[in-house]
Amino acid sequence: MAIASICSSPSPCPPTLPTISLPSLLPTFPSSSKTHHSLQPILPTSSKNGGNLVSGDSLSIAEAAKAIALAGSAAMEATNNSVSVASGIGKVGHFGEGDNNGVRDGSVGIELRRKRRRKRRKGLGFLDEQEYNRNFSEKRILVGSVRSWCLSSKVEAELCLCLKEGTRIEDAMLRITESEENLAISRKNPLGLRERNLDKVFCNTRESRERIARAYQGLVASIAADYQGKGLSLQDLMQEGTIGLLKGAQRFDPDRGFKLSTYVYWWIKQAIIKAVAIKSRLVRLPGSKYEMIAKVAEANNALSYRLRRSPTYEETAELLDVKTSTVRLVSENSRAPISLDSTVTDQGHMTLQEIMGGPEELVPEKMFERKMVKEGVGKLLETLNRREAETVRLYYGLTGHTPRSFEEIGRMLKLSRERVRQIHGVALSKLKHSPLINTLKYFVE
């Protein structure tokens, strides 16, 4: 289409048309103070009145004005489309006036990454713990306000602080309950919470757990997928990984500038490894033995391929540079358990239970031996003080109850977990150097 424009000045003055520049998906806002020349063709002059004619004299001034109006409407439509694109991108990130220079210069990505790092180091304007605790009971975490798979650093920090505060109150109430104090008094004013409503606190804590669990469900699934086929299903592995995720979120400190996903990765992996070690077998083995089991299995495979036969315990121990007794113990304990209802032969009907003898506990000699061991252990514990003896009894279940962990014993004795571990170590050291220990070696060997 040919375009003609008329200027009243003697010098040529081509019309100024708006231009749209979209170097990326981000919109730019043209300034009226700048003159754009992108759609201005250089036209020859052939008239004394300063008229610029294009493509002959076949077009009139009215047709030229109509063409300019069509070009202006097209420019406005393109501007509206760029604004709609910007509104769609606004869900991913919001850019202020300070970011427009970065877009124009073509370095918006570098500027934004630098800005995120700078804000992350400064804490991103997080609520400090005192201010958060002051408004904790009045503020409610909105689970549906932000999509669960896209949590900002500020929201993560608030959720972790909420989870940490709720866990602290729950632990305090648990200690009060175990000390057999009045629960009504504890609910009225636990830990100096003044007029806070505990129901709101617990509700916020529960919603924070659900929010974090939904947001990082993909991370938990990706880690759990590497441990399939080791005795637990994928659903069980994800449940254990979620427990580790929440435990790591309770210990997360947002002021250090790290991401929550980076911090909880180790907690998720350790929780899954521990669950596989404890719950994947009928007979539980110590956690330290599982790493040795994997090493022994790998060494046996390598030696079998090299020697063309099954290796002995001595050969495996020499390859791993460990004791032969360790390899023998690991190999015997790593065998899969056999059911007593299984048949002796493939074609027979006699089960293992029918040909095995009765329990040795009913033999008179074994009953007398157990009685002597019990009396000897009791005399050994009398050489310890009251706290050390109680710690040993609770940790090994000598009282007839389930063995307790250091943390559980600490809550019962009103001590820290580390202090209970120290008392346990001192008690074992005393028992090893006691002269009465020699009387029990006969029953162990």
Residues 332 and 297 in one domain: yes
Residue 103 lies in a domain: no
Amino acid at 355: I
pLDDT over 50 (residue 204)? yes
Q: Is residue 119 part of a domain?
A: no
pLDDT, one tens digit per residue, over 336-370 is: 777 778 787 777 778 877 777 666 666 777 788 88
**Residue 55: inside a domain, yes or no?**
yes
Q: Are 310 and 304 in contact (CB under 8 A)?
A: yes
Residues 141, 204 contacting (CB under 8 angstroms): yes
Tell me if 425 sits within 8 A of 388, measured CB to CB: no
Q: 279, 308, 329: which is the final residue of a domain?
A: 279
pLDDT over 60 (residue 383): yes
Whether residue 115 lies inside any domain: the answer is no
Query: Tokens standing for 158?
Result: 């608030």
Residue 428 lies in a domain: yes
Same domain? 351 vs 367: no
Q: Note whether residue 71 is domain-resident.
A: yes
User: Does the predicted TM-score (pTM) go above 0.75?
Assistant: no
Q: Provide the pLDDT for residue 28.
A: 45
Please indicate, yes or no, whether residues 249 and 314 belong to a single structural domain of this protein.
no
Is residue 347 assigned to a domain? Answer: yes
Confidence class of residue 64 from pLDDT cuts 50, 70 and 90? low
pLDDT band at residue 113 using 50, 70 and 90 as cut-offs: confident
Same domain, 142 and 274: yes
Average pLDDT over residues 67-71: 60
266 and 334, same domain (yes or no): no
CATH of residue 265: 1.20.120.1810
- Count up the domains in the chain and report the number: 4
Which of these three, 355, 373, 389, is where a domain ends?
355
pLDDT of 182 > 60? The answer is no
Residue 245 and residue 136 share a domain: yes
Of the residues 38, 64, 91, the one at which a domain ends = 91
Which structural domain range is residue 311 located in? 287-355
> Is residue 430 domain-resident?
yes
Selected residue with higher pLDDT from 59 and 358: 358
Alpha carbon distance 215, 148 (integer Å): 5
Asked whether residue 141 falls in the same domain as residue 237, the answer is yes
The CATH number given to whatever domain includes residue 426 is 1.10.10.10
Q: Are residues 262 and 296 in the same domain?
A: no
Q: Looking at residue 259, what is its pLDDT?
A: 85
Predicted confidence at residue 24, as pLDDT, reads 43
Residue 71 has a pLDDT of 57
Instruction: Tell me the per-residue pLDDT of 77-98, one tens digit each, with 9 for 90 and over.
Output: 655 554 444 444 444 344 344 4
Do 134 and 272 lie in one domain? The reply is: yes
The answer to whether 435 touches 378, Cβ cutoff 8 Å, is no
| Residue 312 and residue 392 in one domain | no
**152 with 229, same domain?**
yes
Residues 310 and 407 in one domain: no
CATH number (domain holding residue 306) = 1.10.10
